[in-house]
Structure 1
Amino acid sequence: MSVHTSEEPTVKTEREGVEQREEPPADSNDSSSTAQNSDNGLSGDVELAIASDEKPDDPWKVTLGLDDDPKHMRSFRKWLIVLTISSSALCVTCASSIASFSELGMASTFHVSHEVTILSISLFVEGLGIGPLLVGPLSEVYGRNTVYRVSYLLFFAFTWPIVFAPNIAVFLVFRFLTGFCGSAFLSVAGGSVSDLFDNETVANPMAVYTMSPFIGPVLGPLISGFINQNVDWRWTYRVLICWIFVQTICLYLLVPETYEPVLTSRKARELRKSTGNPDYYAPMERSHRSLWHSIEVSCYKPFQLLMYDRMALLLDTWNSLILGILYLAFQAFPIIFEQKHGFTEEMTGLTFLGIGIGMFLAIFTQPFWNWHYKRVSKENNGRPPPETRLIMGQFGGIFAPIGLFWLAFTTYPQVHWIVPIIGSVPFGIGIYFIFTSTFTYLVTAYRPIAASAMASNSFMRSAFAAVFPLFALPMYNRLGTVGATALLAGLTALMAPLPFIFYRIGARLRAQSRFAAK
Structure 2
Amino acid sequence: MEAIRMSSPQSPTFELTDPISRTTSRVSRFSLDPDPEAGKERRLSPSTTATPPAAAEKDDPFEVLWDGPNDPECPLNMSMARKWAIVVVIAVSCLCVTCCSSMAAMTYSGMIATYGINTTLCISSISFFVMGLGCGPLLLGPVSEFAGRKPVLHGGFALFFLLNFPVAFAPHIALHLAFRFLTGFVGSAFLSVSGGAITDVFHNTRVATPMMIFSSAPFLGPVLGPLLSGFINQRQPDWRWTYYVVIMWAFVCMAALLLLLPETYDPQLLKRKARRLRQDTGDARWRAPIEKLDRSFAAALKHSLRTPFRLLATEPMVLFLDLWSALILGILYLSFSGVPYIFRTQHGFSLEQTGMSFLGIGAGQVVAALSQPLFNRAYAKVSAAHGGHAPPEARLVMGMFGGVICPIGLLLLGLTAFKEVHWIVPIVLSSFFGLGLVYAYTATFTYLVDAYRPVAASALASNSFLRSTFAAGFPLFGLPLYERLGPVGATCLLAGLLFLFTPLPFIFYRTGASVRARSNFAAHGM
> Please, what TM-score do these two structures have when normalized by structure 1?
0.90
**Structure 2: distance between partners of 1:279 and 1:258:** 25
1:411-450 correspondence runs (5 A)? 411-450=417-456
Deviation at 1:79, TM superposition (A): 1.3
Measure, in 1, the Cα distance between the counterparts of 2:365 and 2:40: 23
Higher mean displacement: 489-498 or 20-29: 20-29
What amino acid does structure 2 have at the position aligned with 1:491?
L
Q: Which residue of 1 aligns with 2:4?
A: none
Q: What is residue 20 of structure 2 aligned with on the other side? A: none
* Structure 2 equivalent of residue 57 of structure 1: 59
Deviation at 1:211, TM superposition (A): 1.0
Q: Deviations over 1:274-303 (max 9, x none)?
A: 211111001111111101111111011111
- How does 1:132-211 map onto structure 2 within 5 Å? 132-211=137-216
Contact 2:414/2:489 (<8 A) preserved? yes
> 2:246: which partner in 1?
240
Cα distance in 1 for partners of 2:292, 2:74 equals 21
CA deviation string 1:367-409 (max 9, x = no partner): 1111111111111111110000000010011110110010001
CA shift in 2, pair 1:32/1:434, >3 Å = farther
Distance, in Å, in 1 between the alignment partners of 2:169 and 2:36 is 50
Shift of residue 514, structure 1, vs aligned partner? 1.1
Task: Measure the CA separation in 2 of the matches of 1:215 and 1:393.
Answer: 19
1:78 aligns with 2:92: no
Q: Which amino acid aligns with 2:248?
A: C
Corresponding residue pairs, total = 480
Which whole-Å CA distance do the structure 2 matches of 1:158 and 1:335 have between them? 31
Q: Which amino acid aligns with 2:295?
A: R
User: What is the letter of the counterpart of residue 461 of structure 1?
Assistant: R
Q: Does residue 304 in structure 1 map to residue 307 in structure 2?
A: no
- Residue 27 of structure 1, CA deviation: 7.6
Runs of at least 4 residues off by over 2 Å: 20-34
1:67 aligns with 2:72: yes
Tell me by how many angstroms 1:56 deviates: 4.7
- Alpha-carbon contact 1:29-1:444 (below 8 Å) kept: no
| 1:5 equivalent in structure 2 | none
CA distance in 1, matches of 2:166, 2:40: 41
- Shift of the alpha carbon at 1:28? 4.0
For the Cα contact (< 8 Å) 2:27–2:66, is it kept in 1? Answer: no
Aligned CA-pair RMSD: 1.7
1:82-131 Cα distance to aligned partner (Å, 9 max, x none) = 11111111110000001100012101100010110111000000000001
Runs of 5+ consecutive residues of structure 2 not aligned to the other structure: 1-25, 43-56
Structure 1: runs of 5 or more not aligned? 1-19, 37-54
Letter in 2 for 1:458: S
Asked if 1:370 corresponds to 2:372, the answer is no
**Gap change, CA 1:64 and 1:190, over 3 Å in 2:** same
1:461-476 equivalences in 2 (<5 Å): 461-476=467-482
**Partner amino acid, structure 1, of 2:223:** V
Offset, 1:31 = 5.8
Tell me how far apart the structure 1 counterparts of residues 335 and 492 of structure 2 sit (CA, whole Å).
Answer: 13
**CA contact under 8 A between 1:316 and 1:461: conserved in structure 2?**
yes
**Displacement of 1:185 after TM fit?**
3.0
* Residues 131-167 of structure 1, C-alpha deviations (whole Å, 9 max, x = no match): 1112221111111110111111111111111111100
Distance 2:134 2:411 in 1: 29
The counterpart of 1:343, out of the listed 345, 349, 373, is 349
1:200 is matched by which residue type in structure 2?
A: T
**Contact 2:28–2:266 (CA under 8 A) maintained in structure 1:** no
Answer yes or no: is the 8 Å Cα contact 2:408–2:432 preserved in 1: yes
Tell whether 2:294 aligns with 1:292.
no
Q: Cα deviation per residue 1:433-490 (whole Å; 9 max; x = unaligned)?
A: 0111111110010000111111111111111100000000111111111111101101
Q: Are residues 340 and 124 of structure 1, via their aligned partners in 2, closer, same or farther at CA, if it must alter by over 3 Å? A: same
Which of 87, 112, 118 is matched with 2:123 structurally? 118
Q: Does 1:283 align with 2:289?
A: yes
- Judge conservation of contact 2:368–2:435 (CA < 8 Å) in 1: yes
1:26-48 CA-to-partner distances (Å, cap 9, x unmatched) read 684956679x9xxxxxxxxxxxx
Kept in 2: contact 1:338–1:348 (CA 8 A): yes
Structure 2 counterpart of 1:85, one-letter code: I
**In structure 1, what is the equivalent of residue 220 of structure 2?**
215
For residue 456 of structure 1, give the secondary structure of its aligned residue in structure 2.
helix
- Which amino acid in structure 1 is aligned with residue 210 of structure 2? P
CA gap of 1:276–1:397, structure 2 versus 1, over 3 A, is same
Within-5 A mapping of 1:478-497: 478-497=484-503
**Contact 1:32/1:203 (8 A) holds in 2:** no
Q: TM-score, normalised to structure 2's length? A: 0.89
Could you tell me how far apart the structure 1 residues matched to 2:329 and 2:28 are?
Answer: 40
| Separation of aligned partners in 2, 1:145 and 1:304 | 31
Q: CA deviation at 1:186?
A: 2.6
Question: For residues 404-433 of structure 1, what are the alpha-carbon distances to aligned partners after superposition, in whole Å with 9 as ceiling and x for unaligned?
Answer: 010001111111000110111100100110
**Does the 8 Å contact 2:392/2:447 carry over to 1?**
yes
